[in-house]
Structure 1
Amino acid sequence: MKAEEVALLERFVLDNPDLERLEAILDEFNPFVAMRWTRQETRHSCFLRWLLDPSETHGLGPYFLRQFVKYIASISNQPASLSVVDLDSWSYMTTQVLTEWNNIDLLIRDDTHKLIVLIENKVDSSEHSDQLNRYRSLIEKQFPQHHKFLVYLTVDSEIASDGAFIALGYPDLIRLVSDTIKRRQDQMHPSVSAFMESYVEMLRRHIVEASEIQTLCEKIYKTHRRALEILFEYQPDRASELKDYLIGLIGNVAHLQADYSSKSYIRFIPKSLDFLPLHGEGWTLSKRMILIEIDQSGGGIKLKLLLGPGRQETRERIHAFISKQPTVFNRAGTKYYPRWWSFHSENWVTKKEYDENDIEDLKQRISARFGEFITGELRQMVKVIEGLRGESWD
């Protein structure tokens, strides 16, 4: 690091009242901040499901659900099939509130009153793959006789691409939860009201546009932009940290041999397969043709078994052998390519989980799945590939 860059960093940390105020806010205990899920959509959806479900432990019964549905109806831009008076009169005691039903973030289903409320929740991400239109079509097909409210919940009430969706913002959610605390505090256990107050405080400070944290961050960035750029340049990212963690897992297993790895592709092979011919070209200095690869290039984590580029006669013989083992290798029957052929693939972590889960949670999940693979599927795979031992490759 250059002397000029060191000086900028020193100035950044010395006599910086805005930074001290930001640190003071972040140091205040909040269970949601402590669990590190301020920006994780799935966790917000889980909290909202808990609050909306009349049978949950908050002790509010259907109160919040009723207030929520009435508010949605009042701001809907669609022809009203139900009035706020109708919605206020229902008991909601048989209402189901589901998360991740057909990948939909939240679904409120009341078959007694023929009501469906679909909620697509976005904190940092945005629409993709025409998902709102697909979800609407699914709901219309599955529940043709139900009254429907389709809700697009975002930080700043973003208008959805599908005009059937009602734009709802996190400031609206803050008001609804705050009003519930105010009007029903005597009905709730003190721990429940404190829990809800912590959630509201977290939203105000970390999510909504006018949060104090955002204001401080904008001011600090304008004043110390270059120092922050230096920090960002040297910070370890998620992929690098997980790469190091995965290489450590591989190194801890005596019968595994690490091979060339990058941040996106971590490769290894059981030592017992070192009898395979070293006819590979252009992807690893070891010249191995078969490697196991953990791929995090797409934002999730996949495990693959690859036949890489190399001598074509050797590749074709290996392909002919492996293609006859579909019960062991789940892609053994897929199209053969002359450079890269993935003959087995497993999704260990989805992109959404990769983006939203805490790094320590990801490490625990990866470690568990890695251990299962090494002691389970890999043993059977090695036993099958051992059938190539004794072949003449030259």
Structure 2
Amino acid sequence: MLEKLADLLTGHGASDFRTIEERTKYFCPFEAVGMVRQEIRHSNFLAYILDPQRPHGLDDTVLRTFLMEIAQGSAKERLDIHFRDLENARVQREADNIDILITIPKSGGTRGLVVAVELKVDAQEREKQLSDYENRIVKKFPTPDWQHMFCFLTPDGREETTGGGQTWVNLSYTDLFKAADQAIKLDSVSGRGLDLYRDYQRMMRRHGLAQGEIDKELETAVLNIWAKHKEALDFLIDNRPDLLNKLMDSVRNNHQMAERLGNKISAERSQKRIIRFSFPELTQDYPELIGKEGWLDDKSMLAMELKSYNEELSIAIVVAEKNGIHDETRQQFRDLLTEQLMTWEEPTQRTNPHGWHTFFNETVFSKEELENPETLDANDADPAEKLEGEMRSFLEKCYPKLEKALAAAKEQLDAVPRT
């Protein structure tokens, strides 16, 4: 095998490797800040380049193109956008919890235009998410004075599943980039803003979040490498250093961790990609958490999860699925607890309307950090020690919130008349 690896790197495969390296090795500022799968950062950047009042040099080119893309089904809307003055357009982030909200005041005889944009990279919609946004928009921007448009922007242009009576236009990043590129060419846009837009495009295509033109020379080099050196490549893949699995194993095999974390958690059932912990003191204080059966050994509906997903390592608080709770009192307690936790933050819906709710989700190690451990701060401890420290910080922040939410849910439950 050593001879095959040598031939791969220094023999017949060397020129193909140089081609691949030249085509793929470049500095990307967005990758440098860990943006690839961080939806908040995508929303921040897209809101910035859509805003014609920002000093990016793109003027209203990207905004007008974007509006044209989500008005494809209506010739009247396209003409309206073509002639509409976008100079006073306002682009906001997280207004009414909507990722991007665009408002264009009325001018002449036209109504104002309001556009709600929900952006997704990996996450799924929470229950009734888009219908909730529709209600907020219609209430805040009444129909007589405002025209409404809604866009669901995703890597694959998939259809939304939580909309109400309004039409959400499903748009992919690929289609948005294609249209924007044509408009930028026609408008002869140039400058640093355009360079950053190109960097963003390249990052999206590099990570499979958007499609681009096929690089024939790169494609040929990849095909040659696999045709001539498959055994060596398979060996490298099978023996690839895997920091993510090592970190997960370090937690599974660390039997003193719970004690060092103040005995607030107890190791539970785990899977390859998920390690769960229960809360012994909380389940003792609140027996409503416990059932005759459950997804945890202590049969509680409440857990902390350490999860590897999309090549990242994250931590969160999880409330079990409603369908798995067969006792009416426990279902009531579960709903009250969820409502209390939602006062701290919106949950991430993982399955269906009766499914798990995930709260306080935080990324502990990004994909970039796991793939390139040398990029971690030189002052950081060993990755396993850093992970334990992150878990300690997470518990210090979230445990008091859990205690308050449980106490409030219990008080509400006790006030419910019993039959």
> TM-score, normalising length from structure 2?
0.54
Question: What is the distance in 2 between the residues matched to 1:127 and 1:67?
Answer: 26
The answer to whether the 8 Å contact 2:258/2:266 transfers is yes
Other-structure match for 1:210: 213
How much does 1:198 deviate? 2.7
How much does 1:115 deviate? 0.9
The answer to whether the 8 Å contact 1:303/1:347 transfers is yes
Other-structure match for 2:317: 303
Question: Pick from 92, 98, 104: which aligns with 1:98?
Answer: 92
Question: What is the distance in 1 between the residues matched to 2:279 and 2:404?
Answer: 12
Matched, 1:108 2:102: yes
Question: What is the distance in 1 between the residues matched to 2:72 and 2:282?
Answer: 64
Question: Pick from 110, 114, 117: which aligns with 2:115?
Answer: 117
Letter in 2 for 1:348: F
- Counterparts in 2 of 1:64 and 1:38: CA distance versus 1, 3 Å: same
The answer to whether the 8 Å contact 2:58/2:193 transfers is no
- Counterparts in 2 of 1:60 and 1:112: CA distance versus 1, 3 Å: same
Structure 1 vs Structure 2 CA RMSD? 6.0
Letter in 2 for 1:183: V
Matched, 1:58 2:83: no
- Counterparts in 2 of 1:53 and 1:12: CA distance versus 1, 3 Å: same
Matched, 1:30 2:55: no
Letter in 2 for 1:173: A
Other-structure match for 1:370: 395
Question: What is the distance in 1 between the residues matched to 2:319 and 2:249?
Answer: 18
Other-structure match for 1:267: 277
The answer to whether the 8 Å contact 1:174/1:200 transfers is no
How much does 1:80 deviate? 1.0
Secondary structure of the corresponding residue to residue 270 of structure 2 = coil
- Counterparts in 2 of 1:260 and 1:233: CA distance versus 1, 3 Å: farther
The answer to whether the 8 Å contact 1:292/1:305 transfers is yes
Letter in 2 for 1:210: E
Identity of aligned residues (%): 19
Question: What is the distance in 2 between the residues matched to 1:202 and 1:228?
Answer: 25
- Counterparts in 2 of 1:198 and 1:273: CA distance versus 1, 3 Å: closer
Secondary structure of the corresponding residue to residue 42 of structure 2 = helix
- Counterparts in 2 of 1:22 and 1:103: CA distance versus 1, 3 Å: farther
Q: How does 1:92-171 map to 2 (within 5 A)?
A: 92-100=86-94, 104-113=98-107, 114-121=112-119, 143-145=142-144, 146-151=146-151, 153=153, 168-171=175-178
Letter in 2 for 1:107: L
Question: What is the distance in 2 between the residues matched to 1:124 and 1:97?
Answer: 24
How much does 1:266 deviate? 3.2
Question: What is the distance in 2 between the residues matched to 1:359 and 1:96?
Answer: 36
The answer to whether the 8 Å contact 1:265/1:293 transfers is no
How much does 1:304 deviate? 5.7
Secondary structure of the corresponding residue to residue 259 of structure 1 = strand
Question: What is the distance in 1 between the residues matched to 2:168 and 2:337?
Answer: 45
Letter in 2 for 1:72: E
Other-structure match for 2:288: none
Q: Which moved more, 1:261-270 or 1:45-54?
A: 261-270
The answer to whether the 8 Å contact 2:61/2:180 transfers is no
Once the two structures are superposed, residues 284-322 of structure 1 have per-residue CA deviations (whole angstroms, 9 ceiling, x without a partner) of: 9xx97889842256967443699xxxxxxxxx9xxx9x9
Other-structure match for 1:173: 180
